[in-house]
Structure 1
Amino acid sequence: MRDRTEAASKAKELVSRMTLEEKASQLKYDAPAIPRLGIPAYNWWNEVLHGVARAGTATVFPQAIGLAAMFDEDLQEKIADVISDEARAKYNGQSSHGDRDIYKGLTVWSPNINIFRDPRWGRGHETYGEDPYLTSRLGIRFIKGLQGSGKYLKTAACSKHFAVHSGPEAVRHQFDARVNAKDMNETYLAAFEATVREAEVESVMGAYNRVNGEPACGSETLLKKTLRDKWGFRGHVVSDCWAIRDFHVNHKVTATAPESAALAIKNGCDLNCGNTYLHILEALQEGLVTEEDITTACERLFTTRFLLGLFADDCEYDSIPVTDNDTDEHAALALEAAEKSMVLLENDGILPLDPQSIKTIAVIGPNADSIPALEGNYNGTSSRYVTFLEGLRDYGRKHGIRVLYSLGCHLFKDRTSGLAQADDRLAEAAMYAEAADVTIACVGLDAGLEGEEGDTGNEYFSGDKKDLLIPESQRRLLDVLEMSARKLITVVTAGSSLNVPGGNAKVFTWYPGQAGGTALAELLFGEKNFSGHLPLTFYQSIDDLPDFEDYSMENRTYRYFTGKPLYPFGHGLSYTTYEVLKADADDLTVSAEIRNTGSMAGDALIQVYAACDSPFAPVHPRLCGFQRVSLNPGETKTVSVTLDPFTRTVINSEGNRISAEHGTLYVGLGQPGFENAGDTVEIRF
């Protein structure tokens, strides 16, 4: 295993030979070479949220929220292992050609483990959803897959954005997120603590916003007292990009760039994504920092570079060839992930489609033949994209089914051609729907409509949502299809809660990655069974929620929401039926016997929720364990579900974790109290 003590010793020795100016130069994300010491240039900025991003050809997996919908820890780690293989393959090849540019290093700024607390947040699809426990488990396994288990780090993962960060995007550079102690420790910090303590994540990225008055990237409370002193974090901290500049420009907690640089580095932010650390020597001259502060940050950064084997001649990952990128095996894994992530929300019996009884299908909508609808944001470029139209057409060709296609409408404008009248594709959509046995409407969003403020990929359009509706152009299209189609299947592409009416069946695909079209066709025609589940509460309307800028968890997410959801957290239908026959529990494990009582093979998701008998418990039982299990028709299996070690505890109003002696475990197929959970087995403790 990796020897951090040895790496730190080597880093200390190397940094001791640098001049003050050389040490200071290494604290920016685009660190220059120091030829006299044999140190090559290194760019710390790389992204691998759901595949190696922004660096050319790579396997594109489902967006992070889609990975969460799989509820599959083992597959999560397997995907991250493949991503890190591709990152190493590309690094090895590109660095051998002297290309050490942005997005080509081994320090990867993923995963995003913020809590998706409000469906308006544009970046929510980068996360693993609204639940701290699910986010913790998937974050841990993703990090383990990225970092590997060898002598060296395969890549250095990064838990971001620390902390209390989930919109609004428009004011993130000056916003102060005010959070009470209970919500802080129960919700916003839980996944960060878990990834530091259990996954030993190598890096943590600070957030743009302030947290209870302190800018996150210069917060003594977060970076020193919590991250290092309380949790024992030993890696390096990086700022979000140009976040330190916000200290004096937007937050107004400092007056000058040297003061901002000093506040960040004194509180433990080692690496500046941005350029404010160009003023670090001015801060030294003004007496705001010491050379020791600069040295400590530099040593931490070089410890990571030594842990990555960047100065070694025996690194086991140096031999990964460029041909290990974009392989058939990786493509097959992307397809499996897409199949397991899609969620069947509603079905009146029309699905699965019978290819023997269908002669014509109409595939209609702005996301039917859209590559952006597959990608999400922070994405790579696949050489193997299969859009929904292409996947359905390929399937239809094999089974003698005619496929008709219409764009139907623009994604968000009122016409598809500037010279045309409004709704210029509705008549075409209607006539094709009338001619088809089944109509498949492909609607929703893409990362140009929900995403990051000022993101490099969509800097003029993206950001938060104002409501839970699809654009008006698509609502008019669905109205037409409701009247024209004999049978209507609504396929919704998005990364967040939406309320999309209509259809005989409804499928939520997220942003499913390069194989989205193949996966959708296989699922709709019953070649595969649906097994994805919602890692989010789907709400009826924004009117059901508190103000977007209110960071209290009151009436937010399934744990505290008091209204009636459109679809509950954990919801997901199947073509077969399952029954939990019995269950027993000990301190950290539930043993559940489950049977496939239907006529088709599938993957069931056992969900375990805990309700502690305590005034500090959430309003509703919280997720404390989950396990997928594959079952043939009529098959019964006994499954062991590992529980959250904190299942029998609560967080009190002071933010302290205390024991809850008694409570109830609910073992079922969904959130207790909802139809999708089936007959839950209750176990008192």
Structure 2
Amino acid sequence: MKKILLAAAISSTFTAITSFASDEASPAIYQDTSVEMQTRVKDLVSRMTLEEKIGQMYNDAPAIERLNVPAYDYWNEALHGVARAGQATVFPQAIGLAAMWDDEMLHTVATAISDEARAKYHFYQREDIRYRYTGLTFWSPNINIFRDPRWGRGQETYGEDPFLTGELGVAFIKGLQGDNPDYLKTAATAKHFAVHNGPEISRHSDNYVVSDKDLYDTYLPAFKKAVEEADVEAVMCAYNRVNGMPACGSDMLLKEVLRDEYGFDGHVMSDCGAIRDFYDPKAHNVVEAPAAAAAWAVKSGTDLNCGTGALSTFANLGFAVQKGLIDEALIDQAVERLFMTRFKLGMFDSDDKTNYAAIPMDVVGSDSHMKLTEAASASSLVLLKNNGILPLTSDKKVAVIGPNANNEDVLLGNYNGIPINPVTPLQGLETYLGKDNITYSPGSAIIDDIYGHAEILDSRVLFHKKDDGSLAPGLTGKYYSLAQGQISDYTQLTFPVTASDQPQLTRIDKAMDFYFERSPIDDSVLGNFGVIWEGVIQPEHDGKYQFDSDAQIKIDGKTVTDTVALKAGKTYPITISMQFADNKVSNTSAITRKQFTVRWVNTSEDLQQQAVGVASNADVIVAVVGITPRIEGEEMPVKLDGFNYGDRTDIDLPDEQQALLMALKKTGKPVVLVNFSGSAMALNWTDENVDAIVQAFYPGEATGTALAKILYGESNPSGRLPVTFYRDLNGFADFDDYAMDNRTYRYFRGNVLYPFGHGLDYSDVTYSDLQAPSTLQSGEPLSVTVTLENASDFTADQVTQAYVKMPDAPTRVPRVALKAFSKDQVKAGTTETITLTIVADELTYVDDNGESVAYTGSLHLFVGNGQPAHAKEKKIQHAVIDIAQ
């Protein structure tokens, strides 16, 4: 009996081998570009073993050399510029792009981003570099709804309105993906699907309970447009649970809504680590075993596992197949979806098949892109208040005061690239007026021990000893090669590195500010190396100094872990050590994500007293305040008064800055306030006490240049708020309550400081002669015309907003809802007539079952400069249309 079994086993093995050999000898259909793409994909996947297929479901998919499949990492970011891949043009953060209220400009911005993305991808391909952040699958845009001003990641969104978010998302996706009928320029990703907008601290364990009405009325419409109108290539499922089910394991979301209702045919990836959350005892903890989590996610429709520190839960899929938890056919389906994206990107065809491969690297940071980011920055700035002081005149002496005046962080937001030519507000005003006409003081910390005015350590205070013992500017930098070892401590998944005994390069470096695209040792792209800088530091002022860097810093032989007391004119030995070693586990380069700097700040200065002294000698104060992406953002280790792990617990300015503004007010000088934040601020005191307010969000690398031109009237403000600025959080439900009652302008019942859609300018555009039909058949689009007259001396880029009310709806509906908008140039002293069309799908309401119902009855239409409750006389027109069934 044993001999018969052995013979059968040998026969079975032989059959498998000959079958595999026959498969290998068959024509490589997947390499034939004349064959339809889906057929090619199926052919390639059919040649893979189960293990190979599972490996392709990780974000950092390994190579399959026998099939000529190169390694590829799907993880890349392009929220407002190519991010974390070295230098790139940095456009305004997404919330600032939304403040432009300009889908055409946003499409142009996205096109520029995808130009730079293609150039970088092909550059890295030529160097055979396949790290994270070097591919063409971009995990942008974030089209979640900014429903609560406390959410730290709201800066990544297009604001609080589903219609505006959907329209802008479509424009951005189309710009990223290009217009080639055969190939994608890049692959965009709509995220995070769905019902995802804080709190950050508990997003891995939260279950958000949402009604069908709110789901379809607020949380899903932008995703529907992304799929149906922009044909977005990918969707990222969220960390949280929705009505009990993890979003990445929700049949309702991924099968019934995304695939069946919307007809989505691209691939779905998990948010990073979200599949681990299925079984993590500190997270959802809904299954016990990784294999069960992996099978569940794939069965529901999650095709790609972004693992990050959890590595890849999908590595357990082989065991899941073995135990019958999932059928291999579902793995085939997922891998085919993933490879369809790669084929559509041209990754298995020659470069001459698409003109995208010819985009040169010099497009990155090109003159045209620098001009575009300045235009976008100017368009994103929102003038909230102006008592007539703006525009300023150049004959006034200006004091620029505030912790964000010279803070590069507030230009960039999060998910950003390294800027080409960053211009802070201070630098922009100094260039515009001349340095001699500007005085400056930071005035205060941003909050607690977080400062916005830390400076680069450079040759003003850094010296090295020459052979004769004299001091010369700069530190001696000794550059070493690095050898990577094996991990021995599996509690710390970091590969150890050892530096060479002798430096491979020694040079003098004048400033601790570096961007290393290539290794200084061997000129290799993204090469690894270590550096030890040695010399002395000689402060110009007494003080307690705080250092900010990823490097190890030693002063007088002691490692710097806190503030250090230093005396002016005294020399202290200083050593700065840094290793730039790639991370194999996360598949990331050590030097692409951000610029390497060493900054310091004197924390013992009386900044407020200094600021008052500076202000007393000026004619006007430009106060540059607000918060920064260092304290609001994604799951951050920040616990401060008003801030909680990236989110906010109140929406006021930090106390330090409130005190500064009150002190400046007492000088009697007029104050123009510029506020930076990625979220709404309760600027109640400032609204009553300063002369003008500009909301800057995080406006990109050309911020300073654009701001100066706005303040001096060379540009006319045109930004409008994409979120409501509330007076406080009174009346708000708990942060993790996802019911839309009393949230956003559509449902909020209280008195607000600045409404959604608000924004002033230097023009005087009035509205008249709204032409709308008196009746309309249900299911038909509504087209109207309105006349805009600009009686001022300033050409306006006027944002026209169309809102509707549905008083005859038989269920709760928004008290008012945006349904169309347009941005049009109206030259000084001229009149323009514009047409707005509201498509039939927008003339609907969502019933309590989540169904979209065509509205019938009296439709109130408002067209003008803002919401009907807030727009002034002659700034808005009203019509009533009877919609018949």
TM-score (norm: length of structure 1): 0.96
Kept after mapping to 2: 8 A contact 1:436/1:485: no
Kept after mapping to 2: 8 A contact 1:86/1:325: yes
CA distance in 1, matches of 2:191, 2:845: 25
CA distance in 2, matches of 1:644, 1:505: 38
Kept after mapping to 2: 8 A contact 1:410/1:473: yes
SS in 1 for 2:370: helix
- Residue in 2 that maps onto 1:317: 356
Identity of aligned residues (%): 47
- Which one is further off, 3-12 or 107-116? 3-12
SS in 2 for 1:559: helix
- Residue in 2 that maps onto 1:216: 247
Counterparts of 1:538-553 in structure 2, within 5 Å, are 538-553=725-740
CA distance in 2, matches of 1:327, 1:276: 41
Shift of 1:415: 8.5
Q: Deviations over 1:442-476 (max 9, x none)?
A: 111111111000499x9x98510110112221111
Shift of 1:597: 2.0
Q: Given the superposition, is the C-alpha separation of residues 94 and 677 from structure 1 closer, same or farther in structure 2, using an over 3 Å criterion? A: farther
2:95 pairs, out of 65, 69, 94, with: 65
Shift of 1:318: 1.2
Counterparts of 1:208-287 in structure 2, within 5 Å, are 208-249=239-280, 250-274=283-307, 275-287=312-324
- Which one is further off, 282-291 or 636-645? 636-645
CA distance in 2, matches of 1:205, 1:440: 42
Q: Deviations over 1:516-565 (max 9, x none)?
A: 00011000000000100001011110123211111000000000000001
Shift of 1:615: 3.5
- Please state if 1:683 is matched with 2:874: no
- Please state if 1:329 is matched with 2:329: no
- Residue in 1 that maps onto 2:715: 528
CA distance in 1, matches of 2:637, 2:408: 18
CA distance in 1, matches of 2:682, 2:652: 6
Kept after mapping to 1: 8 A contact 2:201/2:645: no
Q: Deviations over 1:148-176 (max 9, x none)?
A: 01121000000000000000111000000
CA distance in 2, matches of 1:81, 1:661: 40
SS in 1 for 2:841: coil
Shift of 1:108: 0.2
- Residue in 2 that maps onto 1:412: 447
- Residue in 2 that maps onto 1:35: 65
- Residue in 1 that maps onto 2:208: 177
Counterparts of 1:602-681 in structure 2, within 5 Å, are 602-612=796-806, 613-616=808-811, 618-662=813-857, 663-675=859-871, 678-681=874-877
- Please state if 1:448 is matched with 2:642: no
Counterparts of 1:182-197 in structure 2, within 5 Å, are 182-197=213-228
Letter in structure 2 aligned against 1:253: V
- Which one is further off, 577-586 or 601-610? 577-586
Query: Max radius of gyration: which structure?
Result: 2
CA distance in 2, matches of 1:676, 1:65: 26
- Which one is further off, 154-163 or 500-509? 500-509
Kept after mapping to 2: 8 A contact 1:572/1:676: no
Shift of 1:676: 5.1
- Please state if 1:598 is matched with 2:631: no
Shift of 1:276: 0.7
Kept after mapping to 1: 8 A contact 2:797/2:824: yes
Kept after mapping to 2: 8 A contact 1:46/1:103: yes
- Residue in 2 that maps onto 1:556: 743
CA distance in 2, matches of 1:7, 1:116: 38
Kindly tell me the number of residue pairs found equivalent between the two proteins.
Answer: 677
Letter in structure 2 aligned against 1:529: N
Unpaired runs of 5+ residues, structure 2, are: 1-32, 452-543, 545-562, 566-601, 774-780
- Please state if 1:507 is matched with 2:694: yes
SS in 2 for 1:439: strand
SS in 2 for 1:646: helix
1:339 pairs, out of 360, 367, 378, with: 378
- Residue in 1 that maps onto 2:389: 350
Kept after mapping to 2: 8 A contact 1:120/1:464: yes
Kept after mapping to 2: 8 A contact 1:611/1:617: no
- Which one is further off, 509-518 or 5-14? 5-14
CA distance in 2, matches of 1:605, 1:318: 37
SS in 2 for 1:317: helix
CA distance in 2, matches of 1:301, 1:369: 44
Counterparts of 1:397-408 in structure 2, within 5 Å, are 397=434, 402-408=437-443
- Residue in 1 that maps onto 2:506: none
CA distance in 2, matches of 1:126, 1:352: 30
CA distance in 2, matches of 1:401, 1:588: 57
- Please state if 1:566 is matched with 2:737: no
SS in 2 for 1:318: helix
Kept after mapping to 1: 8 A contact 2:381/2:717: yes
CA distance in 2, matches of 1:208, 1:193: 20
Shift of 1:380: 0.5
Letter in structure 2 aligned against 1:664: H
Q: Given the superposition, is the C-alpha separation of residues 91 and 649 from structure 1 closer, same or farther in structure 2, using an over 3 Å criterion? A: same
Letter in structure 2 aligned against 1:353: L
2:616 pairs, out of 417, 434, 437, with: 434
CA distance in 2, matches of 1:642, 1:248: 49
- Residue in 1 that maps onto 2:127: 97
CA distance in 1, matches of 2:367, 2:838: 36
- Residue in 2 that maps onto 1:131: 161
CA distance in 2, matches of 1:455, 1:589: 50
- Residue in 1 that maps onto 2:502: none
Kept after mapping to 2: 8 A contact 1:571/1:676: no
Shift of 1:14: 0.5
- Residue in 2 that maps onto 1:465: 648
1:374 pairs, out of 384, 392, 411, with: 411
Q: Given the superposition, is the C-alpha separation of residues 92 and 414 from structure 1 closer, same or farther in structure 2, using an over 3 Å criterion? A: closer
CA distance in 2, matches of 1:117, 1:430: 39
Q: Deviations over 1:467-508 (max 9, x none)?
A: 011222111111111112511011000011101232110000
SS in 2 for 1:243: coil
Q: Given the superposition, is the C-alpha separation of residues 324 and 349 from structure 1 closer, same or farther in structure 2, using an over 3 Å criterion? A: same
- Residue in 1 that maps onto 2:340: 303
1:496 pairs, out of 644, 655, 679, with: 679
SS in 1 for 2:821: strand
Letter in structure 2 aligned against 1:412: I
- Residue in 1 that maps onto 2:86: 56
CA distance in 1, matches of 2:61, 2:266: 18
Shift of 1:20: 1.0
Q: Deviations over 1:86-144 (max 9, x none)?
A: 00000000111011100110000000000000000000010000000000000001000
- Which one is further off, 651-660 or 51-60? 651-660
Letter in structure 2 aligned against 1:173: H
Q: Given the superposition, is the C-alpha separation of residues 258 and 504 from structure 1 closer, same or farther in structure 2, using an over 3 Å criterion? A: same
CA distance in 1, matches of 2:450, 2:856: 61
- Please state if 1:82 is matched with 2:277: no
Kept after mapping to 2: 8 A contact 1:113/1:161: yes
Q: Deviations over 1:339-369 (max 9, x none)?
A: 00000000111000011x31x1111111100
Shift of 1:643: 1.8
CA distance in 2, matches of 1:159, 1:6: 27
- Which one is further off, 155-164 or 288-297? 288-297
Q: Which structure shows the bigger proportion of residues in strand conformation? A: 2
Kept after mapping to 1: 8 A contact 2:200/2:645: no
- Please state if 1:163 is matched with 2:194: yes
Letter in structure 1 aligned against 2:787: E
Shift of 1:254: 1.1
- Residue in 1 that maps onto 2:459: none
Q: Given the superposition, is the C-alpha separation of residues 4 and 477 from structure 1 closer, same or farther in structure 2, using an over 3 Å criterion? A: farther
